[in-house]
Amino acid sequence: NSEMEKDILKVLVTEEELKTRIAELGEALYKRYEGHRPLFLGVLKGSFIFMADLMRASQLMCDVEFIAVSSYQNGTVSSGRVQITHDLQQDITGREIVIVEDILDSGNTLAFLKSYLMAKGAKSISIVTLLDKPSRREKAVEADLSGFVVPDEFVVGYGLDYAQLYRNLPYIGVLKPAVYENT
Ligand code: PRP
Ligand code: MN
Ligand code: MG
């Protein structure tokens, strides 16, 4: 048991389940974008591991780009104020964008990004999220593709953090409440 694993209450999605579902998501993206050249846009930091696996699973001719936003400021509740901490490094006018997210929670991040990207001249936007937590939605935003619906528990791993830790767990786990109650 690693230092990280001692803080995990239970495993919610195993490595094997991630692999199988991401292969399905990649196939769905291939069917939709075959013959096109979509721009996969990862939302840092949470999406970086999912991005690496999803774009390989898709087998598409595609570009990759990242944008970094933050609304949690190290806490466990979305502040609702989304800040861009690293902006797009290319013109996206006329591009077909595939937003790649680790989790859709309140919807504040993706609601902001959708309007931001449309304002930048994107031709189309689809949202792929690994996890969807619909019970916490504040903004009317839905994913076009989602990997797993998760309950309202504090999930970490496979890119998802608590206070910047646990992103490198190879599975999705639920954090022991004691870990965030003591901070
Ligand atoms: C988390 C997560 C999503 C967003 C989802 O990012 O990775 O991007 O919050 O929450 P929402 O639907 O309530 O907006 P966070 O702001 O923690 O930054 P990070 O990706 O760097 O961890
Ligand atoms: Mn994020
Ligand atoms: Mg975070």
67 Cα to the center of ligand 3, angstroms: 14
Q: What is the pLDDT of residue 1?
A: 81
**SS3 category, 176:** coil
> Ligand 1 pocket, 99 CB below 6 A?
no
**SS3 category, 100:** strand
- Residue to mutate (ligand 1; options 102, 110, 130, 167; most atoms within 8 A of CB): 102
Q: Kindly state the DSSP code that residue 182 receives in the 8-state scheme.
A: T
Mean per-residue pLDDT, 17-24 = 98
Marked catalytic residue, from 91, 105, 132, 152: 105
Q: Per-residue pLDDT for 80 more than 80?
A: no
Ligand closest to CA 112: 1
User: From CA 15, how far away is CA 13, in angstroms rounded?
Assistant: 7
CB atoms within 10 A of CB 140: 7
> Ligand 1 pocket, 58 CB below 6 A?
no
DSSP 12-58: EE-HHHHHHHHHHHHHHHHHHHTTS--EEEEEETTTHHHHHHHHHHH
Give the CATH architecture of domain 16-152.
3-Layer(aba) Sandwich (3.40)
- Name which residue sits closest to atom 22 of ligand 1, judged by CA: 46
- Name which residue sits closest to atom 20 of ligand 1, judged by CA: 46
Domain ranges of the chain: 16-152
- Catalytic, 105? Answer yes
Q: How confident is the model at residue 136 (pLDDT cuts 50, 70, 90)?
A: very high
> Ligand 1 pocket, 132 CB below 6 A?
no
- Name which residue sits closest to atom 16 of ligand 1, judged by CA: 70
What is the percentage of the chain residues whose pLDDT exceeds 90?
A: 91
Q: How confident is the model at residue 79 (pLDDT cuts 50, 70, 90)?
A: confident
Q: What is the pLDDT of residue 155?
A: 97
Q: How confident is the model at residue 72 (pLDDT cuts 50, 70, 90)?
A: low
